[in-house]
Copies of this chain bind each other. A is one copy, B any other.
Amino acid sequence: MEGQLKIERREVLKEKPDFSRLGFGQYFTDHMLIIDYKEGKGWHDARIVPYAPITLDPAAMVFHYGQTVFEGLKAFKTTDNRVLLFRPEKNFARLNRSNDRLTIPQIDEEQVLEALKALISLEKDWIPTEPGTSLYIRPFIIATEPCLGVRASHEYKLMVILSPVGAYYAEGLEPVHINVESKYVRAVRGGTGAAKTAGNYASSIKAQVEAKESGYSQVLWLDGIEQRYIEEVGSMNVFFKIDGQVLTPELNGSILDGVTRDSIITLLKEWGIPVVERKLSIEELHEAYQNGTFEEAFGTGTAAVISPIGELNWLNHKMIINDGKIGELSQKLYDTITGIQTGKLADPFHWVVEVN
């Protein structure tokens, strides 16, 4: 990325929303980061500008062929007013892996992270401090060249927008009820499941709508080939505690390599709790349930951090997990990760990065 980061400040700042009723991704801060790409010129013209609508040709390739990737991470404010990011370098590394799958040019991870820090620093009054709240950070790249041929675009826009958010699930840390999806498929090996790209989410909405109609808040995806092996939930990886051991699907190329997932595996190892990444079938889970060894289940992701699963419905089998209450381990993981993220707990793994 050539050149200096330019900053154009908004003259009149927006009125801030009620920080006690934020919801998720509904309010946006005063400024945003934009970096342009053009073939032959590379990434250029990094700038922080007032948050405003963008203007695109109706033939911009993102509208037609979905060449786009995104990330999601968070900034937190500590009680002594320091601003912390949680493992941001992992998000930018993953953004580049997504870029590779979508044939979008690689970004300079360090330079974009520096530009992001400048943006956060400018917007630090937008970081809410209530428990469970944070400033959600959404970097994304879209193909902007106006052309209807199906091929990689020669022009892109990287943008970062910021949104103060409450807890992701309306119910808070209340255990969620999840339906095991037996009809729709999210991803298959050789596809884009391991990339954070729009199409994966577009294809998931219908399953989610149908799950909601049956009283479930999310779906648990099974693999695309045999529709037996557990993959992940909506925008979370998934963990199960069975007979004292923690199990999570291995990174098989069709699920996302979650930053929260990695953090949890690290913590569990540190704590001496056995954790295994492997193929895991829904039948195996159901057997454990029938044997009485299915102890806890939870989803993990940036938005919710930990989302305990109180009920899993697989065809006509209802599995009520831990009496529908949050498990001890789920709670401890939540407390530890959010404690580290907000600077309340020590950070032995050097996960947090301070914004000056």
* Minimum Cβ distance to chain B for residue A52 (Å): 8
Residues in B whose Cβ lies below 8 Å from that of A142: 63
Decide if B53 touches A53 in the complex (CB within 8 Å).
no
Decide if B206 touches A101 in the complex (CB within 8 Å).
yes
Decide if B198 touches A63 in the complex (CB within 8 Å).
yes
User: Which chain B residue has the least Cβ–Cβ distance from A62?
Assistant: B63
Interface flags, A16-35, vs B, CB<8A=1, else 0: 00000001111010001000
Decide if A65 touches B201 in the complex (CB within 8 Å).
yes
Bound Cα distance from A149 to B29, whole angstroms: 17
User: Which chain B residue has the least Cβ–Cβ distance from A100?
Assistant: B206
Bound Cα distance from A189 to B227, whole angstroms: 10
| Interface-located stretch among A2-10, A66-74, A83-91, A333-341 | A66-74
Q: A150-B234, A191-B203 are in contact. List 10 more A-B contacts (CB 8 A).
A: A23-B149, A25-B147, A25-B148, A32-B58, A53-B57, A54-B56, A62-B63, A66-B198, A66-B201, A103-B209
User: Which chain B residue has the least Cβ–Cβ distance from A150?
Assistant: B201
Q: A54-B58, A55-B53, A55-B54 are in contact. Are A203 and B208 (CB under 8 A)?
A: no
Interface flags, A133-152, vs B, CB<8A=1, else 0: 00010101010001111111
User: Which chain B residue has the least Cβ–Cβ distance from A226?
Assistant: B225
Residues in B whose Cβ lies below 8 Å from that of A140: 63-64
Q: Is A184 an interface residue (CB 8 A)?
A: yes
Decide if A64 touches B32 in the complex (CB within 8 Å).
no
Bound Cα distance from A167 to B56, whole angstroms: 27
Decide if A190 touches B198 in the complex (CB within 8 Å).
no
Q: Is A161 an interface residue (CB 8 A)?
A: yes
* Minimum Cβ distance to chain B for residue A10 (Å): 15
Tell me the residues in window 292-322 of chain A with beta carbons closer than 8 Å to chain B beta carbons. none
Decide if B63 touches A58 in the complex (CB within 8 Å).
no
* Minimum Cβ distance to chain B for residue A83 (Å): 20
Q: Is A159 an interface residue (CB 8 A)?
A: yes
Q: Is A343 an interface residue (CB 8 A)?
A: no
Tell me the residues in window 112-147 of chain A with beta carbons closer than 8 Å to chain B beta carbons. 136, 138, 140, 142, 146-147
* Minimum Cβ distance to chain B for residue A50 (Å): 11
* Minimum Cβ distance to chain B for residue A6 (Å): 18
Bound Cα distance from A340 to B191, whole angstroms: 38
Decide if A150 touches B188 in the complex (CB within 8 Å).
no
* Minimum Cβ distance to chain B for residue A106 (Å): 14
Q: Is A324 an interface residue (CB 8 A)?
A: no
Q: A53-B55, A163-B148 are in contact. Are A202 and B63 (CB under 8 A)?
A: no
B68, B152, B224: the one within 8 Å of A188 (CB): B224
Q: A138-B148, A147-B26, A200-B199 are in contact. Are A58 and B53 (CB under 8 A)?
A: yes
Decide if A151 touches B56 in the complex (CB within 8 Å).
no
Name which of A136, A147, A204, A224 has the most chain B CB atoms within 10 A of its CB: A224
Q: Is A237 an interface residue (CB 8 A)?
A: no
Q: Is A107 an interface residue (CB 8 A)?
A: no
Decide if A192 touches B203 in the complex (CB within 8 Å).
yes
Q: Is A197 an interface residue (CB 8 A)?
A: yes
Bound Cα distance from A219 to B142, whole angstroms: 24
Residues in B whose Cβ lies below 8 Å from that of A25: 59, 147-149
Name which of A54, A58, A102 has the most chain B CB atoms within 10 A of its CB: A58
Residues in B whose Cβ lies below 8 Å from that of A204: 150
